[in-house]
């Protein structure tokens, strides 16, 4: 059918570690280069979570070199996904904070399981860190400037029904219908001639993609020096403690 | 009253042929230069159709020179209409795909007959062609980035009620009330001092107008080389065959 | 609690005179430099009016030098408020046209008394004048391009319920609950780490702030030469006459 399905399977919460991101980018590149593949549905094989976002372990107590390598891998994944020539559909079958939300925002279409127990959003500010400009640009392109400004400052996580009202996701369906719906949406998008659709997609996304490409090294340096700050390291450690306590 | 009404009357579907576009631009220029004219209502004299958009006959099996001349005429019409100092109200009394939708989007206000049988949208992708960047810019200025991105990739045509929900048209009225409503809206806009209104309009639209002016020749070349491709010519011929079959 | 409250108290209508603007800017600067202060709630001590906007007396029958000094003070206020590191909440407890609306739009969050008797909007066009580009940029960032284009050309003033529907204000509450609600919203915003929130706010607003900074002197000259025109002076005098008649 020309449609691939990628299932995130890195328990417990599909954190976007360096290894995960590298594999994700390689998989995307392979599909991109496979002429038989015209679309990809991205979903999770882990119950209740789509992806918990960037792996905090990669940002805590590591070397500057590590932070730089990690950040380059985050950029690489986004450049490939947001700029993909394939039709990309996110089947968000669980919560999807921060980097997990970015993955969904970078697709062409977002369908989410309708349960209000699942939430989605760019909540970086709650961890004391700042979503980089290209997370922000991607977000603004989906929900507009005002919703982005407010949500990013508050680090808002929205339950699925609210996310839908804001346009952060395009459609809600009962969880058991999610993959069926994703396939139907994919078929609708693939009914269009690839070439015209791809040129149109590029026209819509090029400005934002080019902006990161033009400032990529600078963005890596910014991230690594920001994350190396003792105050930020402390915030992240506190956040991890809190997560641990919540679990137990 | 200072208000002109332009009625498209080029049966069967008000296609925007080279001749039609040239006449349209000349009419706009005359009204623009007529100090007594402060506003123009644009509507159709052909039942059920506002305008079917760019005339495919002008894009099929013609010379490069013809494509270039045709495209310059499309640009000219848009530059005059989107940049008009007059108040421009579209009374959309029928379907309005592609270039027909662009005409409506370029006005200050869009009123549409409420029938769900009439649809509107930039459906170029369905024909295997791509709406140029200034169609896209005009669309984004009306419906925002996300709706534009999705609609342009899918080549969506929206029935009037859906178009209204997305903000693609400002207001729906029963067809028989359309001209009455257009006159009332025009009166409301003309109640404002011309000078302040015109400066404000220019402030809102200048960036997008300037972008085409700066890339006009490049855009003409892009169009003519894109449309000359055998694959595109084939797509257009197939689309025309389909239209013919649908009719008979 | 780290939260200041500023109450506009310049009867009868809290016009933004040169003196008022200068005091407002100084107060903002003091709070900004006070490390103990993390947020400010802006409201009015005058019943039924938040602020009537720029003081027309400052724009009528004065010298070019005066217009320039006045306009610089308007810019200064906006640069401080829109670019504030503090959390800024507007508790709009009355009508808020033109410059009054700008003050509200420049805050992080807008709560308005729900009465339809109170209206808000950038109605400059109704006075025959034009909102400058940075009023427009601020407005577009809140309500999007289309609503801004239409509202600025018509000089629309929206009753509170309509303003809420358009996103011009974030929330409506009964007037007697306004300050309580503002305090609750402030607490929610202050729950976030200041540093991350401030960097995020800067990321969202910098482009628009920088644009005025880059064109500040030009903007002052434009204003003073525009407002000095006899036709504009006449419009303003007529508007003032109308206001006087309405009162008596």
The answer on pLDDT for B239 being more than 90 is no
pLDDT at B218: 98
The answer on pLDDT for B209 being more than 90 is yes
> Phi and psi for C238 in degrees, rounded to 5?
-65, -40
Distance from CA of B109 to the nearest CA of C (A): 8
Count Cβ atoms within 10 A of the Cβ of residue B6 and give its class: 0-12 exposed, 13-18 middle, 19 or more buried. Answer: middle
Q: Which candidate from A109, A141, A196 shows the least CB-CB separation from B145?
A: A141
Identify which has the larger pLDDT, B244 or A200. A200
Average the pLDDT over each of A88-92, A125-129, B134-138 and give the range with the smallest value: A125-129
Laid out side by side, the sheet with C39-44 consists of: C3-8, C39-44, C87-92, C109-113, C171-173
Q: For every residue of chain C, which 3-state class applies, written as one string?
A: CCEEEEEECCCCCCEECHHHHHHHHHHHHHHHHCCCCCEEEEEECCCEECCCEECHHHHCCCCHHHHHHHHHHHHHHHHHHHCCCCEEEEEECEEEEHHHHHHHHCCCEEEEECCCCCEEECCHHHHCCCCCHHHHHHHHHHHCHHHHHHHHHHCCCEEHHHHHHCCCCCEEECHHHHHHHHHHHHHHHHCCCHHHHHHHHHHHHHHHHHHHHHCHHHHHHHHHHHHHCHHHHHHHHHHHHHHHHHHC
With CB atoms and an 8 Å threshold, state whether A144 touches B145: yes
The overall average pLDDT reported for chain C is 96
Q: Which band of pLDDT confidence, cut at 50, 70 and 90, is reported for residue C243?
A: confident
Q: Which residues in chain C are closer than 8 Å to A145, comparing Cβ atoms?
A: 140-142, 144, 204
Whether A96 is covered by a domain: the verdict is yes
Mean pLDDT score, A224-234: 95
With CB atoms and an 8 Å threshold, state whether A127 touches C196: yes
pLDDT in tens, B12-45: 999 999 999 999 999 999 999 999 999 999 999 9
Share of chain B above pLDDT 70, in %: 100
Q: Of A108, A152, A120, A110, which Cα lies nearest the Cα of A133?
A: A152
pLDDT at A97: 98
The overall average pLDDT reported for chain A is 96
Q: Helix or strand or coil: residue B48?
A: strand
Angle at C36 between CA C35 and CA C40, to 5 degrees: 100
Q: Which band of pLDDT confidence, cut at 50, 70 and 90, is reported for residue A235?
A: confident
The ipTM of this complex is 0.96
Whether B39 is covered by a domain: the verdict is yes
Q: Which residues in chain B are closer than 8 Å to C148, comparing Cβ atoms?
A: 204
Substitution target from B136, B193, B207, B209 for chain C, most C beta carbons within 10 A: B193
Strands C119-121 and B87-92: unpaired
Q: How far apart are CA A164 and CA B239, in angstroms?
A: 36
Q: Could you tell me the maximum CA-CA distance found in chain A, to the nearest angstrom?
A: 52
pLDDT at A7: 98
Whether B47 is covered by a domain: the verdict is yes
pLDDT at C1: 84
> Phi and psi for A92 in degrees, rounded to 5?
-85, 95
pLDDT in tens, A29-75: 999 999 999 999 999 999 999 999 999 999 999 999 999 999 999 99
Closest-CA residue of chain C to B139: C146
pLDDT at C26: 98
Whether C13 is covered by a domain: the verdict is yes
pLDDT at A80: 98
Q: Is residue A124 annotated as a catalytic residue, yes or no?
A: yes
Whether A207 is covered by a domain: the verdict is no
For residue A12, say if its preceding peptide bond is cis, omega within 30 degrees of 0. Answer: yes
pLDDT at B246: 82
pTM of the predicted protein model = 0.97
Q: Helix or strand or coil: residue A89?
A: strand
Could you tell me if C154 lies within 8 Å of chain B, comparing CB atoms?
A: yes
Share of chain A above pLDDT 70, in %: 100
DSSP one-letter string for B73-117: HHHHHHHHHHT-SSEEEEEE-EEEEHHHHHHHHTSSEEEEE--TT
- Whether A106 and A50 have beta carbons less than 8 Å apart is answered as no
What CATH number should be reported for the domain holding residue C33? 3.90.226.10
pLDDT in tens, A169-180: 999 999 999 999
Q: Which of A123, A152, A212, A236 is catalytic?
A: A123
Q: Which band of pLDDT confidence, cut at 50, 70 and 90, is reported for residue C57?
A: very high
A and B: number of Cβ contacts within 8 A = 56
Whether A159 is covered by a domain: the verdict is yes
Whether A236 is covered by a domain: the verdict is no
pLDDT in tens, C155-199: 999 999 999 999 999 999 999 999 999 999 999 999 999 999 999
The answer on pLDDT for A240 being more than 90 is no
Q: Could you tell me the maximum CA-CA distance found in chain C, to the nearest angstrom?
A: 52
Angle formed by the axes of helices C194-214 and C133-143, to 10°?
140
Identify which has the larger pLDDT, C185 or A238. C185
Q: Which residues in chain A are closer than 8 Å to B122, comparing Cβ atoms?
A: none
Share of chain C above pLDDT 70, in %: 100
With CB atoms and an 8 Å threshold, state whether A204 touches B152: yes
The answer on pLDDT for A133 being more than 80 is yes
- DSSP state at residue C193: -
The answer on pLDDT for C79 being more than 80 is yes
> How many separate domains does chain C show?
1
pLDDT at C235: 87
Angle formed by the axes of helices B145-154 and A133-143, to 10°?
70
pLDDT at A61: 94
Residues contacting A117, CB < 8 A, separation 6+? A48, A95, A159
Q: How far apart are CA A160 and CA A121, in angstroms?
A: 10
Closest-CA residue of chain A to B155: A192
Share of chain A above pLDDT 90, in %: 94
- Cβ atoms < 10 Å from Cβ of B235: 18
Q: How far apart are CA B37 and CA B65, in angstroms?
A: 36
pLDDT at A38: 98
> Phi and psi for B244 in degrees, rounded to 5?
-60, -45
Angle at C62 between CA C57 and CA C63, to 5 degrees: 150
State the residue range of the domain holding B157. 3-177
- Whether A22 and A70 have beta carbons less than 8 Å apart is answered as no
Could you tell me if B148 lies within 8 Å of chain A, comparing CB atoms?
A: yes
Mean pLDDT score, C140-144: 98
Whether A38 is covered by a domain: the verdict is yes
With CB atoms and an 8 Å threshold, state whether A130 touches C204: no
Q: Cα A154 vs. chain centroid, distance in angstroms?
A: 19
B and C: number of Cβ contacts within 8 A = 56
C109: which strand partners?
C89
With CB atoms and an 8 Å threshold, state whether A148 touches C199: no
The answer on pLDDT for C246 being more than 90 is no
pLDDT at A210: 98
Q: Which candidate from C130, C145, C155 shows the least CB-CB separation from B199?
A: C130
């Amino acid at each position: 059918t020309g449609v691939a399905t990628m299932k995130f399977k890195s328990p417990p919460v599909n954190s976007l570690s360096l290894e995960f991101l590298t594999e994700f980018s390689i998989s995307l590149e392979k599909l991109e280069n496979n002429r038989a593949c015209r679309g990809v549905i991205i979903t999770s094989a882990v119950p209740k979570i789509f992806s918990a976002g960037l792996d905090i372990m990669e940002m805590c107590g590591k070397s500057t070199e590590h932070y730089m390598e990690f950040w380059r891998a985050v950029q690489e994944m986004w450049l490939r996904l947001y700029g993909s020539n394939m039709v990309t559909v996110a089947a968000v079958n669980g919560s999807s904070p921060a980097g997990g939300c970015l993955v969904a925002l970078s697709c062409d279409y977002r369908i989410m399981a309708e349960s209000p127990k699942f939430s989605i959003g760019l909540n970086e500010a709650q961890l004391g860190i700042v979503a980089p400009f290209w997370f922000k640009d991607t977000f603004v392109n989906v929900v507009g400037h005002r919703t982005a400004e407010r949500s990013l400052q508050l680090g808002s996580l929205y339950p699925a029904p609210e996310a839908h009202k804001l346009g952060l996701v395009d459609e809600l369906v009962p969880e058991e219908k999610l993959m069926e719906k994703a396939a139907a949406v994919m078929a609708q998008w693939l009914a269009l001639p690839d070439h015209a659709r791809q040129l149109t997609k590029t026209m819509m996304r090029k400005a934002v993609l080019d902006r990161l490409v033009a400032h990529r090294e600078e963005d890596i340096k910014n991230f690594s020096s920001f994350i190396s700050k003792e105050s930020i390291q402390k915030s992240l450690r506190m956040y991890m403690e809190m997560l641990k306590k919540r679990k137990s």
